[in-house]
Structure 1
């Protein structure tokens, strides 16, 4: 493969990553997620025995 001059390609790489890191994260983080977590009730419920015939 022929050797390329790294000067213009390195600056293009750096500027493209700077654009990706400054423009895209706020756009991605602005999305709202439909599954919002809710707190469950912390009270203990009384468990009852099941009336199953085991014989």
Structure 2
């Protein structure tokens, strides 16, 4: 079964993980967002009772 032969794909797997770990991941971790989150003031919702038309 050629699907189970790891020889052609193992090197590709190793190279892709190496590229991700050493090059792409540090660049992504250094990214800082321009809009930092700010806390919103808590507001309590106004609760109004539901008026049922048949009562």
Larger radius of gyration: 1
TM-score range (shorter-chain normalised) is 0.3 to 0.5
